[in-house]
């Protein structure tokens, strides 16, 4: 789950997998019986069957709950039962358990590949597809797993391809070489809707695009500087010019469709005069020089990263006399640098929901276990978030999220810009086509009318390991192979049974 830092998440994933497998293992499977021969006088007495190995349950208990997580104990009670004991009530726990970061993989495989990096490229799971090949830079090919425990995949072969250019993705879809594309450009929505050979399915805007700053670097260590930049960017202009229908300016960090997301004060209004005065009061009447770092990867929250970066660059110069150099980075290196707190200027990033709860947005970014993306933590924010996360009733949680939202506005660790509407475009007539609000489309339920389904997304996955939840392209790719104890309904956020 994304409310934890990656190191803790990895350790917990391995722990949960081990305990679940312990609960489900219990010895070798009983072989199918063959017909017994009729007894004869010469036949010896049938020897007694050897007893099954005794079930040895695993249990892991935390000394206390001060380590920052929510689990006090995980115990395998018997061969088919795992019990989670929480440090405090957690209304989002079923949704977290459905998140693919907790996908189940064979313990033997985890042990044999531990530390080798093989898990990143060769996942083994319980899903409807299995990995056939990954041709780096070209495509990933999956084959239907004939022994799948659930409903078999419809298409025998699933192919993932990628292209960072929205126009190129659409051109291939129109030419018939693809069955579906992710994130068509905002200007192409109407073109797709008017094409009888295509179908456009909108995706709800459960995401946020923000401009990040790290408070350990000057001048962003000054709260007045951060507030001035917040007032000096016209966010409505960005949404109007570069986002598709269904998008909206972010009044708060978390999308308002999530309970308690938009309680507390709304974000700063665009006020360039007040912004310039505040920047001058902070000691920068003539502005300063910095940089804007981003990765050239299309996301639902940032459909046109290059032009948005240029517009923010222009606004900073026009409104605040800030000279910002644009720095484009490779996706994996950019994420790593952001998490490590190594980006000294502004950076453009965003977040898509893993599950519809405040903890998924606020705790991951501003909680006690957050990365160094924004620099030093704000204890008043982390305290409010910890109290809110410990309650199970939305009404009881509300005062703490009012406090957290107001403090985020005051401290300005980042600037929430937009909740981006997006869509998936398919060939017309594909049965089961859908757009997941969580970005985890399930291709096993789609019928392309042929043996192979070809999908094109914005970028190549960084890895095929769902435990690394920082990259949406990677999550979608690994989710075709692995499964968790619970799951999200196809095309929705409701939790349904899976392996449990």
Q: What is the pLDDT of residue 445?
A: 98
Residue 221 is assigned to a structural domain of this protein = yes
Q: What is the pLDDT of residue 118?
A: 87
Q: What is the pLDDT of residue 27?
A: 36
- What DSSP letter does each residue of 410-443 carry, written as one string? HH-SEEEEEE--EEEEEETT-BT----TTS---G
Asked whether residue 376 falls in the same domain as residue 268, the answer is yes
The enclosing domain of 438 has a CATH number of: 3.40.190.10
User: Which phi and psi angles does 386 have, rounded to 5°?
Assistant: -65, -40
Q: If you compute the radius of gyration of the chain from its CA atoms, what whole number of angstroms results?
A: 25
The order of strands in the sheet holding 346-352 is 248-249, 414-419, 207-212, 346-352, 289-295, 323-329
- What DSSP letter does each residue of 6-50 carry, written as one string? HHHHHHHHHHHHHHHHHHH-SSPPPPPPPPPPPP-TTPPPPPPPP
Residue 111 is assigned to a structural domain of this protein = no
Helix (H) or strand (E) run with residue 111 in it: helix 107-113
Residue 270 is assigned to a structural domain of this protein = yes
User: Which phi and psi angles does 309 have, rounded to 5°?
Assistant: -60, -40
- Residue at token pair 């949960």: 16
The enclosing domain of 254 has a CATH number of: 3.10.105.10
Asked whether residue 84 falls in the same domain as residue 145, the answer is no
Residue 456 is assigned to a structural domain of this protein = yes
Burial of 145 (0-12, 13-18, 19+ CB in 10 A): middle
CA distance readout (Å), 239 to 100, 124, 235, 323: 31, 41, 6, 22
CA distance readout (Å), 310 to 183, 232, 242, 317: 20, 15, 11, 11
Asked whether residue 178 falls in the same domain as residue 211, the answer is no
Q: What is the pLDDT of residue 105?
A: 84
Residue 48 is assigned to a structural domain of this protein = no
Number of structural domains in the chain: 3
Residue 365 is assigned to a structural domain of this protein = yes
Asked whether residue 62 falls in the same domain as residue 8, the answer is yes
Asked whether residue 293 falls in the same domain as residue 240, the answer is yes
The domain in which residue 271 lies consists of 207-419
Asked whether residue 71 falls in the same domain as residue 16, the answer is yes
Alpha helices, DSSP H only, in 325-447?
A: 331-339, 358, 364-366, 379-389, 394-411
Asked whether residue 95 falls in the same domain as residue 189, the answer is no
Which distant-in-sequence residues (6+ apart) come within 8 Å of 1 by Cβ? Answer: 9, 96, 99, 101, 102, 354, 355, 360, 469
Asked whether residue 234 falls in the same domain as residue 309, the answer is yes
Residue 349 is assigned to a structural domain of this protein = yes
Residue 153 is assigned to a structural domain of this protein = yes
pLDDT by 10s per residue, the chain, length 500: 333 344 444 444 444 544 444 444 433 333 333 333 444 444 445 555 666 667 788 899 999 888 877 889 999 998 889 999 998 888 889 999 999 988 988 888 888 887 778 889 999 999 999 999 999 999 999 999 999 999 999 999 999 999 999 999 999 999 999 999 999 999 999 999 999 999 999 998 999 999 999 999 999 999 999 999 999 999 999 999 999 989 999 999 999 999 999 999 999 999 999 999 999 999 999 999 999 999 999 999 999 999 999 999 999 999 999 999 999 999 999 999 999 999 999 999 999 998 889 999 999 999 999 999 999 999 999 999 999 988 888 999 999 999 999 999 999 999 999 999 999 999 999 999 999 999 999 999 999 999 999 999 999 999 999 887 778 899 999 999 999 999 999 999 999 999 98
Asked whether residue 146 falls in the same domain as residue 199, the answer is yes
Asked whether residue 3 falls in the same domain as residue 134, the answer is no
């Amino acid at each position: 789950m994304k409310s934890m830092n990656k190191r803790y998440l990895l350790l917990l994933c391995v722990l949960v997998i081990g305990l679940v497998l312990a609960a489900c293992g219990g010895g070798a499977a009983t072989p199918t019986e063959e017909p017994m021969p009729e007894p004869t006088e010469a036949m010896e007495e049938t020897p007694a069957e050897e007893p099954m190995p005794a079930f040895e349950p695993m249990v892991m208990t935390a000394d206390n709950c001060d380590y920052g997580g929510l689990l006090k104990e995980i115990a395998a009670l018997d061969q088919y039962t795992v019990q989670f004991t929480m440090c405090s009530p957690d209304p989002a726990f079923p949704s977290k358990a459905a998140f693919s970061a907790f996908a189940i993989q064979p313990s033997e495989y985890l042990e044999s590949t531990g530390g080798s990096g093989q898990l990143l490229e060769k996942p083994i799971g319980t899903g409807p597809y299995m990995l056939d090949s990954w041709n780096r830079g070209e495509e990933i090919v999956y084959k239907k797993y004939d022994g799948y425990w659930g409903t078999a995949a419809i298409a025998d072969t699933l192919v993932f391809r990628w292209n960072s250019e929205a126009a190129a993705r659409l051109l291939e879809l129109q030419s018939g070489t693809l069955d579906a594309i992710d994130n068509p450009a905002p200007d192409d929505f109407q073109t797709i809707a008017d094409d009888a050979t295509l179908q456009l399915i909108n995706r709800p805007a459960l995401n946020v695009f923000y401009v990040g700053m790290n408070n350990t670097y000057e001048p962003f260590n000054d709260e007045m500087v951060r507030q001035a930049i917040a007032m000096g960017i016209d966010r409505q202009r960005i949404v109007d010019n570069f986002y598709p229908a269904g998008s909206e300016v972010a009044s708060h960090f978390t999308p308002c469709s999530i309970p308690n997301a938009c309680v507390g004060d709304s974000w700063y209004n665009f006020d360039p005069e007040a912004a310039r005065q505040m920047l001058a009061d902070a000691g920068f009447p003539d502005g300063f020089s910095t940089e804007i770092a981003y990765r050239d990867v299309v996301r639902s929250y940032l459909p046109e990263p290059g032009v948005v970066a240029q517009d923010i660059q222009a606004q900073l110069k026009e409104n605040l006399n800030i000279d910002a150099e644009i720095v484009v980075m490779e996706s994996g290196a950019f994420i790593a640098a952001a998490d490590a707190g190594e980006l000294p200027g502004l950076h453009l990033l965003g977040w898509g929901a893993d599950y519809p709860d405040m903890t998924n947005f606020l705790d991951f970014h501003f909680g006690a276990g957050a990365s160094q993306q924004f620099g030093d933590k704000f204890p008043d924010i982390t305290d409010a978030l910890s109290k809110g996360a410990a309650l199970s009733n939305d009404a009881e949680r509300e005062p703490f999220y009012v406090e957290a939202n107001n403090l985020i506005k005051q401290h300005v660790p980042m600037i929430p810009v937009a909740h981006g509407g997006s869509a998936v475009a398919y060939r017309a007539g594909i049965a089961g086509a859908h757009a997941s609000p969580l970005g985890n489309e399930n291709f096993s339920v789609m019928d392309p009318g042929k043996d192979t389904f070809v999908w094109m997304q914005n970028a190549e996955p960084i890895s095929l390991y769902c435990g690394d939840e920082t990259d949406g392209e990677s999550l979608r790719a690994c989710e075709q192979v692995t499964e968790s104890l619970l799951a999200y309904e196809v095309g929705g956020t409701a939790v349904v049974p899976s392996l449990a």
